[in-house]
Amino acid sequence: MQANATDKKTSLKVQIAQKIMIDLRFYNEHPITAENPRKAMTQLPKEIAQLISQTSLGGIILFSDNLESPQQIIKLNHDLQLAATNSSLKSPLLISIDQEGGRVFRTSRSDTIAFTGNMSIGATYQEHGCDYATKTAEVLATELNSLGFNVNHAPTIDVNSNKNNPVINVRSFGENPDVVAKLGQAQVSAMQKHNIISTLKHFPGHGDTDVDSHTGLPIVMHDLETVYKMDIAPFKQIIKHDAPGMVMTAHIQYPNLDNSEFIAKSGVKMLKPATMSRKMITNILREELAYKGVVITDALDMKGIKDFFTEDDAVINTFKAGVDIALMPIKIRTAQDLNKLPQLIDAVANAVNAGELDKHEICESFKRIQKLKYDYELVGNVTTSLTDKISHSKTQLLKPENLIIEQQLAEAAITLVTSQNNILPINNRDIVHLIMPDKTKCLALSSMLQAQFKKTLFVTHTNMQNFDITKAQHFIDNANIVIGAHIAPKQSAAEMGGMDDLITNKQRIENIANPKDVYDLLKFAKVHNKKTVFISLRTPYEIAQFNDVADISLATYAYNTHLDSHTHEIKSPIFSALAKVLSGHIKAKGYLPVTVKI
């Protein structure tokens, strides 16, 4: 497909289909029932392949449910592209993924390198500049490319200026817009040099919210000066110097950017969210910031949109605002859902024919998408044989030198936040008690500490998911160093995978240790003259709450663990790095990328 394709060669419905990106997380041939539960789509069903071919669908986003192993992922992506080549347009699919690194990571951590995420990279900026932003993006892009992906919805360049932000927090590089811009630009540049289209998100900024747009419609009340200096600044800088292939919109209201209203499907008047604001998408992003690339929505199945619009109206309104691609506007979960895509295409075509949507704008948007595919030579990847793709991936995944970078980042990021008493390092005469969020993290840190002392250290632990306070206090009585850790805030839908996970994982989300229980155990330890350490395993803001019960406080920004598929041992670069700090083998050299008020 040539970059200069026009509406003279391509029908309106095909142009519209190219502006749609769907997910295929689950698919059942028959209706889903208790006897026929939903099934993850890991192989391409014939009827889905035919749907892609018949409609000339533009893009697919894959999630963890779709991704079992490198060979399976490559085969699935290969088959998806073959289906696209059988369409009348023969335009390759945009096959995308949310592979930010850290907490938002879709492929298996035992097959690919996850790193510790953006806030940990922000913690290294003062000493290492953009070094780790570049290196991590290079690795993420190289591995994704070898698996058959061509779009990564990353980096997140939201400036996390709200300590109660439930969805961005450690996904942000920090609270300084200039640093966020530099680190984000480094990642965009590195990914795109390695032939992965980068998506900046979430325009015009999701950093100062205390509502997750997966579960509601946030509003940001910044005045215009703050919006431009804080929220929009990173987008402006990166677009000017290293323009990304894509920019993703936010389902957020910004009344000082656009106070126009819409009528929700309930009949209530509401402010337009950015995703549907022509002023924000066309006037600001396109015209003021001079962005020439492809604009994609955040997932349209999120409650920040779904609660207020029908599926058809959501897509029509995003296109009316100037968006190029509607992400996840419909759910295809059974064979009975297959007609949803042609029906959506028909609805948009009817809106064009009725004059509600501008036909010329649809054509220009279609051409932008084709140019993006042409610029990244997606056709070349489609024509490579499946055998060659699998062979190539074996040389690109889990490279030893890249695993070293992962460990180095974890070690460089750990931050000493408070130190009221110099109680470190631990030595092999100490008796250590760990208070950890769950059993896996108990075992991970315990085994990593034992590795530092060649298994001569005596370690006990309390699993906060199922703890007995009497037993915990007994262990504390017998220890001389007590280390407590906590994770705040709870996991968001973005980390789990999206809206499909909110209900199924509700119990897992709720089964998180109460910070007061951790605090009370550390207080008990202090009263009994024990040395105490508090570790923030996620956003470091909570350290302020533990200051009076901790001799030392550390921030790790991550808590990833995985089971080695060969040795069946728990692996964790961040807990390995933490054990090295606690044992005195390395120093905590990171710097807080956000303000913690002690």
Concatenating the DSSP letter of every residue in 62-79 gives --GGG---HHHHHHHHHH
CA–CA separation, 168 and 433 (whole Å): 32
User: Residues with catalytic annotation?
Assistant: 298
CA–CA separation, 487 and 514 (whole Å): 9
367: Cα separation from own chain's centroid: 28
**What is the band of 502 on the pLDDT scale with cuts at 50, 70, 90?**
low
Q: Which amino acid is at 12?
A: L
Peptide bond into 202 cis (omega under 30): yes
Instruction: Give, in degrees to the nearest 5, the angle at Cα 329 between 298 and 45.
Output: 115
Above 50 in pLDDT, residue 150?
Answer: yes
CA–CA separation, 460 and 481 (whole Å): 11
| H, E, C per residue of 298-346 | CCCCCHHHHCCCCHHHHHHHHHHHCCCEEECCCCCCEHHHCCHHHHHHH
**Considering only CA atoms, which of 197, 247, 248 is closest in space to residue 372?**
197
- The distance in angstroms from the start CA to the end CA of the chain is 58
* Strands ordered across the beta sheet of 552-555: 415-419, 552-555, 531-536, 481-486, 431-436, 458-463
Mean pLDDT along residues 385-390: 96
Of the two residues 380 and 564, the one the predictor is more confident about is 564
Q: What is the pLDDT of residues 456-484, one digit of tens each?
A: 999 999 999 989 999 999 999 999 999 99
Peptide bond into 45 cis (omega under 30): no
CA–CA separation, 454 and 87 (whole Å): 60
Output the six-digit token pair for 443.
């075992």
Mean pLDDT along residues 534-538: 97
**What is the band of 503 on the pLDDT scale with cuts at 50, 70, 90?**
low
Above 50 in pLDDT, residue 84?
Answer: yes
Do 231 and 220 touch, CB atoms closer than 8 A? yes
Q: What is the dihedral of CA 245, 166, 306, 283, to 10 degrees?
A: -40
Phi, psi for residue 501 in degrees, rounded to 5: -90, -15
Mean pLDDT along residues 41-49: 98
State the pLDDT at residue 7: 53
Q: How many helical (H) and strand (E) elements, i.e. helices and strands, does the chain have?
A: 23, 18
Output the six-digit token pair for 323.
């968006």
CA–CA separation, 199 and 370 (whole Å): 16
CA–CA separation, 315 and 327 (whole Å): 9
Output the six-digit token pair for 518.
């951790």
Do 325 and 59 touch, CB atoms closer than 8 A? yes
**What is the band of 510 on the pLDDT scale with cuts at 50, 70, 90?**
low
Tally of residues, the chain: 598
Q: What is the pLDDT of residues 159-191, one digit of tens each?
A: 999 998 888 999 999 999 999 999 999 999 999
Mind listing the domains of the chain with CATH numbers? 12-394 (3.20.20.300), 414-582 (3.40.50.1700)
CA–CA separation, 297 and 172 (whole Å): 19
Task: Indicate yes or no: pTM above 0.75.
Answer: yes
Above 90 in pLDDT, residue 213?
Answer: no
Query: Given CA atoms 190, 192, 193, 196 in this order, what sign does their dihedral have?
Result: positive
State the pLDDT at residue 506: 52
Above 70 in pLDDT, residue 62?
Answer: yes
**How many CA atoms, within 13 angstroms, populate the side-chain half-sphere of residue 591?**
12
Query: Given CA atoms 29, 32, 34, 38 in this order, what sign does their dihedral have?
Result: positive
Do 279 and 317 touch, CB atoms closer than 8 A? no
Do 263 and 217 touch, CB atoms closer than 8 A? no
**Considering only CA atoms, which of 542, 493, 401 is closest in space to residue 171?**
493
Above 90 in pLDDT, residue 382?
Answer: no
For the chain, what is the mean pLDDT? 94
Do 134 and 180 touch, CB atoms closer than 8 A? no
CA–CA separation, 547 and 522 (whole Å): 11
Do 147 and 96 touch, CB atoms closer than 8 A? no
Across 271-280, 336-345, 422-431, 503-512, least confident range:
503-512
Other Cβ atoms less than 10 A from the Cβ of 568: the count is 7
Output the six-digit token pair for 233.
């600044």
**What is the band of 209 on the pLDDT scale with cuts at 50, 70, 90?**
confident
State the pLDDT at residue 505: 53
State the pLDDT at residue 210: 81
